[in-house]
Structure 1
Amino acid sequence: MSTLKSEWLSLAGAAELLGVHPTTIRRWADSGKLPVHVTPGGHRRFLRKELVAQTGLDNAVDNFTTERVWNDYALVETRERLINRPEPSWLAAFSPDHREEKRELGRRLMSIIMQHISAPDEAQSLLVEARSIAVRYAQNSEQAGLTAAEGLEATAFFRDAMTEVALQMPQVAQLETDAQLRLLRKINQVFNVFQVALVDYYDRCNGKNT
């Protein structure tokens, strides 16, 4: 009976088995990517052999080990920073419509970063797309009355959160040093392009107004 019980895993146990955050396990279970059983009390339970035998699970976990796990942790870290700290002045400047557009631009940028992480080192096309998102981000910031410095402060907030998560990846997903350095380099490449494009937009706008 004890052996049988050990085969059933809680949300935290499944997360430990697969080496990902419990939030990721919850999302995978809710989307049908992982087999899950719900107790009469409403708790999720996972059968160890089902997790191991799940079709394509090993490949899925491998794929999530870098960009997907980083993405999940980065989102959690960003939310916690926004919830547990005083609202930044740059965020208070945005109307509900501006905030919604910022969220959409943020989702698009995260998607680009994830694709860029898994792309060959010489690939540049995603950086071009990141630049176009930065221009729209700068337009949105200017419409909300933010200066270029405040726009950079906003991007630095998210960059710091995402970089901090990347630094934790060796503990989260047993990431080797070379892979971690590559992850950091890829993230920085996107944000470097993004921030330069944002400043360039403000410079061009100031030039038109003089």
Structure 2
Amino acid sequence: MRARPPLETTEGQSHPSRWISLSRACNLLGVNESTLRRWADAGHVRSFRTPGGHRRFAEDDLRALMAGQGRPGPASYGSLGHLALMRIRRRLQRGKKQQAHWYTGVPEGDRERLRSLGQRLVSLVSEYLSRGSRRSRLMEEARQIGHQYGREFADKRLPVRDAVEAFIFFRKGLDDAAIELAHRGSLSAEEAVEVWELMAGLADQILLAMADAYEEVRQPQVAPAG
């Protein structure tokens, strides 16, 4: 005899259309098991236990999280972008007299375009961490932005070192924001490692895309055979 799930609904809330296993729920969201258990314990995802002790999760709640309609608790990654932007701006203002070549070497008019790209990239990182089902598309968009950054630097004949220095500056802002977010949300060690690995993988692809842009610009033009 199968256990009936508890009627854990509030006023105006419908019963889940389907209950799915822990492994399937994790695959759907792109998170590890401890993260999903924590969200369920906090009440962000409805769940129940079978007589055998296995958890089942409300698919409707999971899809609401994927669509950005739910709140995965205090460790939500949505605030990472805001924290990172604040840290990056603060570091630029604080070090104005000793700004790096990558910043001073870019004309003021072009800096605004780079800022817009940077803001989108930071926002994209937040989405990438929280939306497992869309990570492949977000990864591709991150590569495109990295490629645009590389073209901006290469077209102005700035050295590769300047491009790498700009990337490190951006990466440091994200790292610091992620550390602060982990402390605020009381992430477990496993969850913190997961965040770090996801960010590192995305950052690696951005850096490679910047390098590809340099290669494309600097490849010698081959004269057509006469």
Is the shorter-chain TM-score for this pair beyond 0.5, marking a shared fold?
yes
The alpha-carbon deviation at position 66 of structure 1 amounts to 3.0
Which secondary structure does the structure 1 equivalent of 2:157 belong to? coil
CA contact (8 A) 1:93 1:146 kept: yes
> Which 5+ residue runs of structure 2 have no aligned equivalent?
1-68
Residue of structure 2 equivalent to 1:137: 149
Output one character per residue of 1:9-47: Cα deviation in whole Å (capped at 9) or x when no partner: xxxxxxxxxxxxxxxxxxxxxxxxxxxxxxxxxxxxxxx
1:180 aligns with 2:188: no
Cα distance in structure 2, aligned partners of 1:169 and 1:114: 11
Residue of structure 1 equivalent to 2:118: 106
1:69 aligns with 2:43: no
Q: 1:95 to 1:104 in 2, by over 3 A?
A: same
The alpha-carbon deviation at position 164 of structure 1 amounts to 2.2
Paired AA for residue 164 in structure 1: D
User: Is the helix fraction higher in 1 or 2?
Assistant: 1
Paired AA for residue 133 in structure 1: I
> Which 5+ residue runs of structure 1 have no aligned equivalent?
1-58
The alpha-carbon deviation at position 61 of structure 1 amounts to 6.0
Cα distance in structure 2, aligned partners of 1:61 and 1:123: 19
Select 2:164's aligned residue among 152, 161, 168. Answer: 152
Paired AA for residue 149 in structure 2: Y
Cα distance in structure 1, aligned partners of 2:115 and 2:202: 17
When normalised by structure 1's length, the TM-score is 0.65
CA contact (8 A) 1:134 1:195 kept: yes
When normalised by structure 2's length, the TM-score is 0.60
Cα distance in structure 1, aligned partners of 2:92 and 2:155: 22
Q: Give matches, 1:183-194, under 5 Å.
A: 183-194=195-206
The alpha-carbon deviation at position 123 of structure 1 amounts to 3.4
> How well do the aligned residues superpose, as a CA RMSD in angstroms?
2.3
Higher Cα Rg: structure 1 or 2?
A: 2
Paired AA for residue 193 in structure 2: L
Q: Percent identity?
A: 21
